[in-house]
């Protein structure tokens, strides 16, 4: 069986940790890398393969400026700063940072310029709904998804969002109580292709330092340790 | 928030030690286990809930190779330690994470494993990091024999003799674990799977249960080997000697980054201990029962200090301090209790008189007889780190700047331009992803440094914030300065978690990583800290504590 066809399941913790390292590996700041790890882990715990789109997002960042696709927040319309499609990690973090501001993106209907790998934004919208205690609805050309303050959403709606093309979005919020559907019960962890694991591993390894004799000798016991 | 959970209790904050005193590396490096340490809490819980234990599988051959299953059954669920014993050539025995083979390997299984589970685990658990376990497993671990003591005990028991007490005291364990992985590592169940289970809700409880059951396996294995060797002549290990055996553990640098990366969790551990000490100090009187309990605890501490061995110069000095201070405490207790708030008076005397070793030992002694007063605090020591992850970007920069200045004063006021201030850097080695610390002037790889230099990060953040308009939102600052996002998150979290930060420079030339390791391991319940370098620590777990069969009420079926 080829790597591409073979699937395996990572724990949520493994997904978070690996994706954080990979994001750092291509040059994100540690704080934004944490956001990438959080987002990927959140999706993985809801049976979405977040690693495949993250690899697709991160790989070009090895040669492009890490700030490519940074957002420019404006009331009612968040634009791209440099003309490139928005980066969902930078955008997601900024959306949350601005969530509680009076002219923030969730206080009015807000247009968002096309976003790369938009599925990676879903965890950020869920967090916004939780912070604001309002439901957040995200609409795009072919569909939409509503996320409740307790993080519940219809998986099917979000599935259609797993686009490989940049997608322009519109955000609306509304008063609502929790869905009461809850997210209790067993988590279904996403399966990912082994080839995807190898790709994210390669990016994550860019945070590590190749072994040297001096580092090896300093890491362990300085005295006999097998007594 | 932890403080609200105990709102019905009197406010004892006047007696609580402040973070600036507690969160210093030199004091952290003298931490002692207390009755709030995780293994103690777990043992009390299992005793109270009348857990039962059995050894459902023992298939070990004459060479000591095979498998065993130990089951722990609580009110709601069963957990099983699945143990694999191997025949390891001496030259392969290493405690380093770069080892690839061990004397024994283990997994803690969620439930009772069937034959198919055991076969699956037999194919992967011995590989450790190179294998994959599943969400049915809660932990993955391995252990190596103490060649010296294991051989001695087999030889003695097989000849019908009990091992030498001095030998047992000199080593203290038959095997030492070299890693105990939990929380989703290598495919194991995530922490979220067990966090709502009452019985494993405390920090590292699955790991502690694993190590406690491993301890029993080590004794069973040594008795098995003695029986094989000595046949009918062999005897079982004396109960009193058995009690003196713990499980050893070799710990490298990996634990230090953990403490920094989990500020909220670590805060809760320290807060619980400090709140406990404050409650004890705040008492108006000392009851006869508590005073008697204190004296008993002191006797045990003196004995513990007597048999505590280390050849490392740092620990040799600390042991000398500890023994001297315990003598001073013994003398002070001759006139204890006296006056109002005698516990507080005892504590203030200690702060004025004893070394850090003695003071932190006294914390453990003062908590020991006060279970009724403080044991509820064990329930506050976990943390849900997913909540409060978000940065609140609506805060005005001026307000945020003030928060930073107030809570990170210990880190500000210097620019870290002296090479000694940033002499070290923490990194992860490509080989088996082992955390290491390097010398910035000599070693390569500083450009891949891990973000553990919190003091410098705080100073860098403060510097860039001074240039930003105070009436703008933090969100606008972070949009331009994503490099400060990690530190901004920590600053905001520290409002609720005052003991979250180690208030020292972890990049300083003179840092001793073993100080961080000891602090964390004391919360686990470790004792007999024995540094093997400035970044490598040997400890013992569960020494002196009961065995599963003791909790079973000495069930005859065990053997």
pLDDT for B221-255, tens place per residue?
999 999 999 999 999 999 999 999 999 998 888 88
CA-nearest residue of chain B to A15? B184
Q: Hey, is B170 helix, strand or coil?
A: helix
Whether A223 has its CB under 8 Å from any CB of chain B: the answer is: yes
Q: Do A215 and B436 touch (CB under 8 A)?
A: yes
Q: What is the mean pLDDT of residues A101-119?
A: 95
Q: Hey, is B132 helix, strand or coil?
A: coil
Which residues are CB-neighbours of B150 under 8 A, at least 6 positions away? B174, B175, B222
The conformation of residue B237, written as its DSSP 8-state character, comes to P
Partner residue opposite A222 with nearest CB, options B434, B445, B532:
B532
Whether A7 has its CB under 8 Å from any CB of chain B: the answer is: no
Q: Do B393 and A100 touch (CB under 8 A)?
A: yes
Q: Does the pTM exceed 0.90?
A: yes
Which residues are CB-neighbours of B26 under 8 A, at least 6 positions away? B356, B515
What's the pLDDT band for B556 if we cut at 50, 70, 90?
Answer: very low
Count of CB atoms situated within 10 Å of the CB of A205: 15
Instruction: Report the alpha-carbon distance of residue B261 to residue B239 in Å, rounded.
Output: 42
Q: What percent of chain B has pLDDT over 90?
A: 85
| Sign of the alpha-carbon torsion through B477, B478, B479, B482 | positive
pLDDT for B267-305, tens place per residue?
999 999 999 999 999 999 999 999 999 999 999 999 999
Average pLDDT, chain B: 93
pLDDT for B137-154, tens place per residue?
999 999 999 989 999 999
pLDDT for B87-96, tens place per residue?
888 888 877 7
Q: Report the gap between the CA of A162 and the closest CA in chain B (Å).
A: 24
Name every chain A residue with its beta carbon within 8 A of the beta carbon of B392.
Answer: 100
Checking if the pLDDT of B1 tops 60, the result is no
Q: Do B132 and A30 touch (CB under 8 A)?
A: no
Mutate to test the interface with A, among B260, B475, B491 (most CBs of A within 10 A): B475
Whether A83 has its CB under 8 Å from any CB of chain B: the answer is: no
Pairing state between β B104-110 and B66-73: unpaired
Q: What is the mean pLDDT of residues B320-336?
A: 97
Cβ atoms of A140 and A167 closer than 8 Å: yes
Name every chain B residue with its beta carbon within 8 A of the beta carbon of A101.
Answer: 393-394, 473, 475
pLDDT for A177-226, tens place per residue?
666 554 434 478 999 999 999 999 999 999 999 977 766 666 655 455 55
In this predicted structure, what is the pLDDT of residue B557? Answer: 46
Q: Do B252 and A205 touch (CB under 8 A)?
A: no
In this predicted structure, what is the pLDDT of residue B100? Answer: 84
pLDDT for B145-179, tens place per residue?
998 999 999 999 999 999 999 999 989 999 999 89
In this predicted structure, what is the pLDDT of residue B534? Answer: 85
Helix residue ranges, H only, A77-172? 88-97, 122-132, 155-159
Name every chain A residue with its beta carbon within 8 A of the beta carbon of B474.
Answer: 97
Residue pairs spanning A and B at CB distance below 8 A: 179
Q: Judge residue B526's burial from the number of C-beta atoms within 10 Å of its C-beta, 0-12 exposed, 13-18 middle, 19 or more buried.
A: buried
Instruction: Report the alpha-carbon distance of residue B242 to residue B260 in Å, rounded.
Output: 37
Tell me the Ramachandran region of residue B544: left when phi exceeds 0, alpha when psi lies from -120 to 50, beta otherwise. left
pLDDT for A54-86, tens place per residue?
999 999 999 999 999 999 999 999 999 999 999
Q: Do A100 and B392 touch (CB under 8 A)?
A: yes
Q: Do B485 and A11 touch (CB under 8 A)?
A: no
Instruction: Report the alpha-carbon distance of residue B267 to residue A45 in Å, rounded.
Output: 27
Written as one string, the DSSP assignment of A156-197 is HHHHTT--SS-EEEEEEEEE----S--S-S--BPPEEEHHHH
Name every chain A residue with its beta carbon within 8 A of the beta carbon of B95.
Answer: 220-221, 225-226
Whether A207 has its CB under 8 Å from any CB of chain B: the answer is: yes
Q: Report the gap between the CA of B512 and the closest CA in chain A (Å).
A: 13
Count of CB atoms situated within 10 Å of the CB of B432: 14
Q: Do B478 and A97 touch (CB under 8 A)?
A: yes
Q: Which of B32, B30, B33, B34 lies closest to B357 in space, CA to CA?
A: B30
In this predicted structure, what is the pLDDT of residue B433? Answer: 83
Buried b (16+ CB within 10 A) or exposed e, B399-420: ebbeebeebbebbeeeebeeee
Partner residue opposite B445 with nearest CB, options A10, A34, A209:
A209
CA-nearest residue of chain A to B530? A221
Rounded to whole angstroms, what are the CA distances from A137 to B17, B58, B151? 48, 58, 68
Checking if the pLDDT of B50 tops 60, the result is yes
Whether A11 has its CB under 8 Å from any CB of chain B: the answer is: yes
In this predicted structure, what is the pLDDT of residue A220? Answer: 56
Q: Do A225 and B437 touch (CB under 8 A)?
A: no
In this predicted structure, what is the pLDDT of residue B558? Answer: 45
Residue B518 sits at the vertex; the CA angle it makes with B515 and B522, to the nearest 5 degrees, is 145
Pairing state between β A134-140 and B66-73: unpaired
């Amino acid at each position: 069986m080829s790597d591409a066809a073979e699937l395996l399941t990572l724990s949520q913790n493994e997904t978070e940790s690996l994706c954080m390292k990979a994001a750092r590996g291509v040059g994100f700041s540690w704080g934004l890398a944490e956001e990438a790890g959080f987002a990927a882990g959140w999706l993985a715990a809801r049976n979405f393969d977040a690693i495949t789109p993250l690899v697709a997002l991160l790989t070009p960042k090895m040669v492009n400026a890490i700030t490519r696709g940074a957002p420019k927040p404006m009331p009612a319309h968040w634009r791209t700063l440099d003309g490139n499609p928005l980066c969902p990690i930078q955008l997601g973090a900024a959306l949350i940072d601005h969530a509680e501001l009076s002219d923030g993106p969730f206080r009015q209907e807000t247009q968002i310029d096309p976003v790369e790998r938009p599925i990676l934004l879903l965890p950020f919208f869920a967090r916004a709904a939780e912070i604001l205690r309002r439901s957040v609805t995200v609409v795009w050309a072919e569909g939409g998804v509503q996320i409740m303050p307790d993080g519940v959403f219809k998986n099917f709606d979000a599935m259609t969002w797993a686009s490989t093309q940049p997608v322009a979005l519109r955000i609306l919020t509304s008063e609502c109580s929790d869905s009461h559907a809850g997210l209790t019960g067993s988590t279904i962890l996403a399966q990912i292709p082994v080839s995807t694991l190898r790709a994210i591993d390669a990016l994550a390894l860019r945070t590590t330092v190749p072994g040297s004799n001096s580092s090896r000798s300093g890491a362990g016991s300085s005295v006999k340790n097998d007594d | 928030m932890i403080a609200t959970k105990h709102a019905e209790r009197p406010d004892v904050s006047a007696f609580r030690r402040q973070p600036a005193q507690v969160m210093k590396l030199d004091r952290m490096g003298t931490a002692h286990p207390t009755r709030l340490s995780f293994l103690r809490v777990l043992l009390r819980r299992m005793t109270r809930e009348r857990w039962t234990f059995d050894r459902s599988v023992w298939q070990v051959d004459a060479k000591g190779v095979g498998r065993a299953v130990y089951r722990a059954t609580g009110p709601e669920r069963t957990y099983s330690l699945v143990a694999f014993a191997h025949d390891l050539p001496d030259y392969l025995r290493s405690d380093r994470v770069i080892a690839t083979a061990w004397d024994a390997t283990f997994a803690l299984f969620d439930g009772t494993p069937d034959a198919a589970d055991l076969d699956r685990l037999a194919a992967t658990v011995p590989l450790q990091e190179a294998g994959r376990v599943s969400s049915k497993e809660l932990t993955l671990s391995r252990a190596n024999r103490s060649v010296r003591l294991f051989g001695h005990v087999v030889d003695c028991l097989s000849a019908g003799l009990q091992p030498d007490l001095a030998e047992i005291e000199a080593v203290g364990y038959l095997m030492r674990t070299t890693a105990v992985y939990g929380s989703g590592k290598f495919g194991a169940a995530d922490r979220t799977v067990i966090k709502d289970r009452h019985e494993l809700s405390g920090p590292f409880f699955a790991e502690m249960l694993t190590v406690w059951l491993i301890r029993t396996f080590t004794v069973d294995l040594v008795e098995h080997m003695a029986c094989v060797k000595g046949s009918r002549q062999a005897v079982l290990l004396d109960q009193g000697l058995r009690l003196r055996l713990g499980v050893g553990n070799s710990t490298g640098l990996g634990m230090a980054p953990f403490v920094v990366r989990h500020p909220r969790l670590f805060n809760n551990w320290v807060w619980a201990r400090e709140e406990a000490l404050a409650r004890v100090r705040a008492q108006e009187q000392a009851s006869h029962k508590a005073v008697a309990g204190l004296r008993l605890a002191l006797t045990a501490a003196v004995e513990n200090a007597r048999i505590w061995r280390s050849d490392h110069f740092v620990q040799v000095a600390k042991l000398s301090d500890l023994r001297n201070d315990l003598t001073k405490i013994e003398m002070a207790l001759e006139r204890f209790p006296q006056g109002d708030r005698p516990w507080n008076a005892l504590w203030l005397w200690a702060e004025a008189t004893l070394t850090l070793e003695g003071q932190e030992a006294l914390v453990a002694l003062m908590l020991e007889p006060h279970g009724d007063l403080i044991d509820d605090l064990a329930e506050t020591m976990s943390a849900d780190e997913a909540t409060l992850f978000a940065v609140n970007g609506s805060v005005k920069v001026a307000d945020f700047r003030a928060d930073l200045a107030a809570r990170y004063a210990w880190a500000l006021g210097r620019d870290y331009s002296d090479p000694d201030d940033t002499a070290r850097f923490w990194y992860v080695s490509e080989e088996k992803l082992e955390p290491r610390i390097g010398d910035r002037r000599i070693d390569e790889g500083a450009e891949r440094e891990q973000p553990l230099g919190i003091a410098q990060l705080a100073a860098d953040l403060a510097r860039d914030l001074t240039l930003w308009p105070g009436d703008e939102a933090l969100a606008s600052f972070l949009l331009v300065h994503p490099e400060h996002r990690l530190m901004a998150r920590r600053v905001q979290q520290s409002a609720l978690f005052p003991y979250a930060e180690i208030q020292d420079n972890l990049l300083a030339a003179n840092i001793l990583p073993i100080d961080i390791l000891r602090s964390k391991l004391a919360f686990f319940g470790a004792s007999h800290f024995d540094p093997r370098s400035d970044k490598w620590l040997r400890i013992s777990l569960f020494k002196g504590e009961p065995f599963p069969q003791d909790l079973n009420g000495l069930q005859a079926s065990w053997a």
